[in-house]
Amino acid sequence: MRLVRYNGGRIGVLAKDGVVDVTPVVRVDPEEWPPVGMLRVIRHFDTLRPDIEAQVASAPALPLSQARLQAPIAWPNKVIAYPINYVDHATEMSVTSYANVAGFFLKASSSLIGPHEAIELPDLPGRSVHHECELAIIIGREGRDIAAADALDHVLGYACLLDITIRGKEERVMRKSYDTFTVLGPCITTADEVGDASDIRLALWVNDQPRQDARTRDLIVDIPNMIALASSAATLCPGDIIATGTPSGVGPIVDGDRVTIEIERVGRMSVPVRQGRRGRNFVFDPSLSRSSRQTP
Ligand code: MN
């Protein structure tokens, strides 16, 4: 099953001929704040699934052209991300500290957007913003200290994820947490539909030029061990997102580009890149006055 959020917080299922609205079936109020309805759908998915399937079998579908897809999860408890998790990416970044040594970091949940939005480049003249093509794991069942052997029982499904990054030496969380810097979608494809995710292809194009092309078999820390490692520190909650790291081929994106990501059996989406006018600050531009005092 392919779950989506669309048209202002509605919950739907991607079917052959479009999107079937299941918002009433899963009892989500599209106007709710905070927008956590999908988290409850994920938490209760096994119970809700028969009713969702019945709706998909009987209700008409909205043509995809009339569905504005949003990030399938808007307010996760956390977005966990693994750094250097493919050896070839470590080589291109000239680093020798891999995810199995460094562990994970977090990205701001407010950086999430969906496939019908645009990546907004901050106004940071001279700074390079890169695309990173990643498989996202969507946690379905809460757990702490999950054993690698049990990890897949905690996975609801998978999605495509773009981990957009300002290159530099500043704090990584800040460089990766700008609004629009975590593109998630086009849907959550449930694990039963993806099947074995341990050797699937992920690829990325910028303006139809191939930039990244790899397989999950080349992950340094594999999917079960990423879940085990993260949950050794933090309770994983339904709807948590794990960005699994990017293979080699990262590179700059600029105003007017279109970034396309495709992951085998998971999905495909394209998003435009726009130059924004926000985002300058004294960390990235020391010529700006510091707010209260100079650094020591
Ligand atoms: Mn990344």
- For the stretch 86-106, pLDDT in tens is 988 888 888 887 888 899 999
Quick one: pLDDT band at residue 290, thresholds 50, 70, 90? low
Q: Are 44 and 170 part of one and the same domain?
A: no
Q: How far is the CA of 262 from the centre of ligand 1 (A)?
A: 16
Give the per-residue pLDDT at 93: 85
Quick one: pLDDT band at residue 42, thresholds 50, 70, 90? very high
Running DSSP on this structure, what letter comes out for residue 172? H
Q: How far is the CA of 24 from the centre of ligand 1 (A)?
A: 36
Q: Is residue 107 part of a domain?
A: yes
Q: Is residue 170 part of a domain?
A: yes
CA torsion 278-284-287-293 (nearest 10°) is 100
Q: Are 168 and 270 part of one and the same domain?
A: yes
Give the per-residue pLDDT at 94: 85
List Cβ neighbours of 98 (8 Å cut-off, separation of 6 or more). 84, 85, 87, 90, 220, 221
Q: What are phi and psi of 235, to 5 degrees?
A: -60, 125
Q: How far is the CA of 243 from the centre of ligand 1 (A)?
A: 7
Determine whether 268 is exposed, middle or buried from the number of CB atoms within 10 Å of its CB (0-12, 13-18, 19+).
middle
Among 230, 257, 260, which Cα is nearest to 242's? 230
**Contact by Cβ (8 Å): 116, 68:** yes
Q: What would you measure as the largest C-alpha separation in the chain, in angstroms?
A: 66
Model confidence over 187-211: pLDDT tens digits? Answer: 999 999 999 999 999 999 999 999 9
Q: Are 166 and 96 part of one and the same domain?
A: yes
Average pLDDT value over all residues in the chain: 95
- Rounded-to-integer distance, Cα 170 and Cα 258, Å: 27
Give the per-residue pLDDT at 25: 97
Quick one: pLDDT band at residue 296, thresholds 50, 70, 90? low
- The number of distinct structural domains making up the chain is 2
Is the pLDDT reported for residue 292 higher than 60? no
Model confidence over 221-249: pLDDT tens digits? Answer: 999 999 999 999 999 999 999 999 999 99
- Rounded-to-integer distance, Cα 181 and Cα 2, Å: 23
Q: How far is the CA of 123 from the centre of ligand 1 (A)?
A: 21
Quick one: pLDDT band at residue 40, thresholds 50, 70, 90? very high
Q: Are 226 and 159 part of one and the same domain?
A: yes
Q: Are 21 and 167 part of one and the same domain?
A: no
Model confidence over 179-191: pLDDT tens digits? Answer: 999 999 999 999 9
Quick one: pLDDT band at residue 270, thresholds 50, 70, 90? very high
Q: Is residue 243 part of a domain?
A: yes
Give the per-residue pLDDT at 97: 79
Q: How far is the CA of 130 from the centre of ligand 1 (A)?
A: 10
Is the pLDDT reported for residue 295 higher than 60? no
Q: Is residue 8 part of a domain?
A: yes
Q: How far is the CA of 140 from the centre of ligand 1 (A)?
A: 22
Q: Is residue 293 part of a domain?
A: no
**Contact by Cβ (8 Å): 74, 5:** yes
Q: Token pair of 39, please?
A: 């988290």
Give the per-residue pLDDT at 90: 83
Q: Token pair of 117, please?
A: 């939005």
Q: How far is the CA of 65 from the centre of ligand 1 (A)?
A: 30
Q: Are 153 and 32 part of one and the same domain?
A: no
Q: How far is the CA of 190 from the centre of ligand 1 (A)?
A: 22
Q: Are 55 and 156 part of one and the same domain?
A: no
Helix, coil or strand: residue 71:
coil
Give the per-residue pLDDT at 234: 98
Q: Is residue 235 part of a domain?
A: yes
Q: Are 171 and 213 part of one and the same domain?
A: yes
Q: Is residue 45 part of a domain?
A: yes
Q: Are 234 and 207 part of one and the same domain?
A: yes
Residue that the structure tokens 């709807």 belong to: 239
Residue that the structure tokens 């495709």 belong to: 262
DSSP output for 35-50: --HHHHHHHTHHHHHH
Give the per-residue pLDDT at 286: 84
Q: Are 65 and 110 part of one and the same domain?
A: no
- Rounded-to-integer distance, Cα 170 and Cα 165, Å: 11
Q: Are 66 and 87 part of one and the same domain?
A: no
Strand partners, 275: 121
